[in-house]
């Protein structure tokens, strides 16, 4: 994986004037490929729980004239054990499926970046702690509409860049039956959720 040092070399000759003067759709030679490891956490307000996702990847192209970015973000499935008063209840596994390319700006002049990512969030499994072989979720239990996460933060050219933002989570469907749909939606869906991501 390349890191921010690769981007610094590619953008070293860019000036603020050029960033304003040259359109994003410039010649392909102006695109600088970048790759990052992404360590993300998602906090679901309704469920009052935070899920740490395994390390994912961001592969993108940055226009060296404008700093505009477009790419693909891949995040592995993540599991979380839900407990009540220290009593384990179930292991919940969620997946973030990219619904549209990641877009944004990577501005080394201002030292900040902003991105917008869109996902379909899926509950892959809910397995009771007393019967882990049993999955209470059937079918493709996925949000009825994509979730859009806007992440922004300062660029750390010498190390890890940290970004954060909020997102709303739509109701879920196709979880097995309407009662399960409603139960999962009541437990997870809503506004006020947050995501943090560290790029290295």
Phi-psi map region of 153: left, alpha, beta (phi>0 left; psi -120 to 50 alpha): left
pLDDT tens per residue across span 81-101: 887 666 788 899 999 999 999
Q: If you search the block for the tokens 């790759």, which residue do you land on? A: 35
CATH architecture for segment(s) 4-12+26-199: Beta Barrel (2.40)
Structural tokens at position 41: 């956490």
Structural tokens at position 183: 């139960």
Structural tokens at position 125: 């499994």
* Residue-wise DSSP of 50-113: EEEPPPEEEEEEEETTT-EEEEEEE---EEEEEEETTEEEEEEEEEEEEEEEEEEEEETTTTEE
How much is the pTM?
0.78
Query: What is the three-class DSSP state of 21?
Result: helix
The rounded distance, in Å, linking the Cα atoms of 149 and 120 is: 11
The one-character DSSP state at 133 is T
CB 12, CB 109: distance < 8 Å: no
Domain extents for the chain? 4-12+26-199
CA 82 to chain centre: 22
pLDDT tens per residue across span 118-170: 999 999 999 998 999 999 998 899 999 999 999 999 988 778 999 999 999 99
């Amino acid at each position: 994986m390349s890191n921010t040092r690769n981007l610094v070399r590619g953008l070293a000759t860019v000036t603020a004037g050029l960033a304003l003067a040259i359109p994003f759709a410039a010649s392909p030679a102006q695109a600088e490929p970048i790759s990052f490891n992404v360590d993300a956490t998602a906090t679901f307000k309704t469920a009052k729980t935070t899920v740490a996702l395994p390390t994912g990847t961001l592969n993108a192209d940055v226009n060296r004239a404008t700093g505009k970015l477009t790419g693909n973000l891949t995040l592995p499935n993540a599991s979380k054990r839900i407990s009540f008063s220290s009593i384990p209840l179930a292991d919940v596994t969620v997946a973030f499926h990219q619904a549209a390319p990641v877009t944004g700006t990577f501005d080394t002049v201002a030292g900040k970046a902003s991105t917008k990512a869109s996902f379909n969030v899926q509950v892959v499994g809910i397995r009771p702690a007393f019967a882990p072989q049993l999955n209470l979720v059937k079918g493709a239990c996925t949000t009825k509409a994509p979730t859009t996460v806007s992440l922004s933060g300062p660029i750390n050219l010498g190390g890890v860049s940290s970004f954060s933002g909020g997102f709303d989570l739509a109701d879920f469907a196709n979880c097995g039956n309407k009662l399960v749909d409603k139960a999962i939606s009541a437990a997870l869906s809503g506004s006020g959720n947050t995501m943090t991501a560290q790029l290295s």
